[in-house]
């Protein structure tokens, strides 16, 4: 679809669904084409969360802007008509669709680089063109790789080029954010400060990628990080002494939610996407996802934005050799199937940004991994009680979220309990674990009782089991509580 067609569809969304869709006009492209995003959401309030979905930074990756438009229309139709949202073997109930539209804001920038797309589609263009169409003074070559123009290690030279005529089309531009196409992503994050998740959609390789892209991750040395100039020149090489710092709780969340997105994709038609750190595709710098995630490190006033890159579609082989054109631009009907796969990932990402269940589950797993530890250190044997509690939340996530939203009393109580519970869960990772007070244990118990009354039999049985374990929690930390429950089970109590 030409860039004008995509822009027309962006404009059509508020005409059809004006009560919850709004167009956001951004900076025009280098050649003056409009670039617009759409905001989907019905509601307001200080507690709302937002996500940003971006496509088309690389011109030749044609199906991703179409996929994001497809997602916007499917989601809007399902909400307007109170219908389930189905893609192949994956279905999100109408209650979930309602939750996503009414409890959060989804910002979709489907085509960030319209000039590049037009050049790819032009009879006189280049089907493998990657960048925008920026003029480079004094050079015959045009274009900047928009996804190497973000302000993250822009001077490092990791998988970028300072040569406008780079044979790999990796020219990073004359300065960070020199291009309106990258400025628009930054401006959305700046303007809508409640955006706490970003997904940048690319092709190809069937990966769900999380930060960092410049080097391998490590969780123990905070001073070894991209801001520390003493490590300049050491980044970008896997297997050496430099590793990029990431907090353990963020890394665990990225892996956990990444796997949920991969599972959602697989449920559509069986495609298996691998969840990897971005550097394992190849080392990069100045990309949108690393920039989005790094913002809160650079400026403490910025909210943390949890970012992924999805690489849609497989590497296609022809006569045993890579067919790059078909990999970037798969023909129909396969292209439509890939777009269907992506819908599940987009929906799953939105749900996990909306919910704090992933953070709670990973905190329980973290505490449970050491619940049987002796004075000599952590045991490799995880806590049975921790596994049981995490599995209860994982297996019943969807029903718990819907119940907590549709019952006003439950909604209020869930908000209060979550606000008090999260600091206790998070404190275990910080090395200063907090204890459960008796009043909080009582409130959690009452909340689980109410959920059991309203929920399906499976939820009711699980809630009853958790309530039995919960009686051991008052006055002690989560890890100690899990240890106590496990010890009681071993004694047959």
Q: Mean pLDDT in each 10-residue stretch from start to end of the chain (493 residues)?
A: 93 97 98 98 87 98 97 98 95 92 96 98 97 94 97 97 94 98 98 96 98 98 97 96 95 95 97 98 97 96 95 96 96 95 97 86 84 46 88 89 82 87 87 91 93 91 93 92 89 68
Cis peptide before 140 (omega within 30 of 0): no
Tell me the DSSP string of 280-306. Answer: GT----S-HHHHHHHHHHH-TTSPP-E
State the CB neighbour count (10 A cutoff) for residue 235. Answer: 23
Which homologous superfamily does the CATH classification assign to the domain defined by 3-354? Answer: Zn peptidases (3.40.630.10)
pLDDT at 466: 93
Which residues fall within 8 angstroms of residue 116, CB to CB, at 6 or more apart? Answer: 56, 58, 59, 60, 129, 130, 131, 132, 133, 143, 146
Cis peptide before 462 (omega within 30 of 0): no
- First-to-last C-alpha distance (Å) of the chain: 65
| Residue spans per domain, the chain | 3-354, 357-490
Would you call 466 helix, strand, or coil by DSSP?
helix
Q: How far is CA 470 from CA 294, 385, 438, in A?
A: 38, 10, 11
pLDDT at 377: 46
Cis peptide before 333 (omega within 30 of 0): yes
Helix axis angle, 94-103 relative to 63-80, nearest 10°? 100
pLDDT at 370: 64
pLDDT at 491: 80
pLDDT at 362: 83
pLDDT at 376: 43
Please give the angle made by the CA atoms of 29, 12 and 17, to the nearest 5 degrees. 130
Cβ 200 vs Cβ 107: under 8 Å: no
Which residues fall within 8 angstroms of residue 288, CB to CB, at 6 or more apart? Answer: 54, 57, 147, 150, 182, 185, 198, 200, 307, 309
Please state whether the predicted TM-score (pTM) of the whole model is above 0.85.
yes
Buried (b) or exposed (e) across 414-446, using 16+ Cβ within 10 A? beebbeebeebbbbbbeeebebbeeebbebbbe
């Amino acid at each position: 679809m030409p860039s004008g067609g995509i822009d027309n569809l962006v404009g059509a969304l508020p005409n059809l669904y004006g009560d919850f869709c709004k167009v956001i006009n951004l900076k025009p492209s280098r050649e003056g084409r409009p670039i617009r995003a759409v905001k989907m959401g019905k509601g307001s309030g200080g507690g709302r969360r937002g996500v940003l979905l971006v496509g088309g930074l690389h011109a030749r990756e044609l199906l991703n802007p179409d996929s994001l438009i497809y997602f916007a229309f499917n989601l809007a139709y399902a909400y307007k008509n109170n219908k389930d949202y189905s893609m192949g073997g994956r279905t999100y109930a109408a209650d979930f669709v309602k939750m996503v539209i009414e409890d959060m804001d989804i910002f979709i920038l489907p085509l960030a680089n319209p000039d590049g797309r037009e050049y790819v589609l032009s009879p006189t263009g280049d089907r493998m063109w990657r960048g925008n169409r920026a003029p480079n003074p004094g050079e015959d070559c045009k274009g900047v790789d928009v996804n190497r123009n973000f302000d993250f290690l822009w001077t490092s030279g990791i998988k970028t080029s300072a040569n406008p005529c780079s044979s790999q089309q990796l020219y990073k531009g004359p300065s960070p954010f020199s291009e309106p196409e990258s400025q628009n992503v930054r401006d959305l994050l700046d303007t809508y400060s409640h955006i706490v998740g970003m997904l940048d959609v690319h092709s190809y390789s069937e990966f769900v990628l999380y930060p960092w892209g410049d080097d391998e991750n490590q969780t123990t040395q905070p001073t070894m990080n991209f801001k520390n100039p003493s490590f300049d020149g050491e980044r970008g090489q896997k297997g050496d002494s430099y590793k990029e710092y990431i907090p353990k709780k963020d890394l665990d969340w990225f892996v956990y939610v990444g796997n949920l997105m991969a599972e959602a994709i697989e449920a559509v038609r069986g495609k298996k996407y691998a969840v990897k750190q971005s550097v394992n595709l190849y080392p990069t710098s100045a990309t949108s996802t690393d920039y989005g995630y790094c913002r809160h490190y650079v400026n403490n006033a910025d909210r943390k934005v949890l970012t992924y890159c999805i690489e849609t579609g497989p590497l296609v082989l022809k006569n045993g050799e890579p067919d790059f054109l078909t990999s970037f631009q798969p023909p129909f009907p396969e292209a439509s199937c890939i777009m269907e796969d992506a819908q599940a990932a987009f929906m799953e990402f939105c749900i996990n940004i909306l919910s704090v269940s992933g953070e709670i589950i990973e905190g329980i797993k973290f505490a449970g991994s050491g619940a049987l530890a002796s004075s000599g250190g952590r045991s490799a044997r995880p806590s049975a009680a921790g596994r049981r509690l995490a599995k209860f939340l994982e297996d019943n996530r969807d029903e718990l979220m819907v119940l907590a939203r549709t019952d006003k009393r439950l909604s209020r109580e869930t908000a209060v309990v979550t606000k008090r519970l999260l600091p206790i869960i998070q404190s275990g990772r910080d090395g200063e674990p907090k204890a459960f007070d008796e009043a909080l244990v009582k409130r959690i118990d009452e909340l689980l009782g109410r959920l059991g009354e309203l929920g399906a039999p499976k939820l009711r049985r699980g809630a009853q089991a958790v309530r039995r374990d919960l009686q051991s929690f008052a006055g002690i930390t989560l890890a100690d509580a899990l240890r106590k429950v496990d010890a009681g089970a071993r004694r047959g109590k």
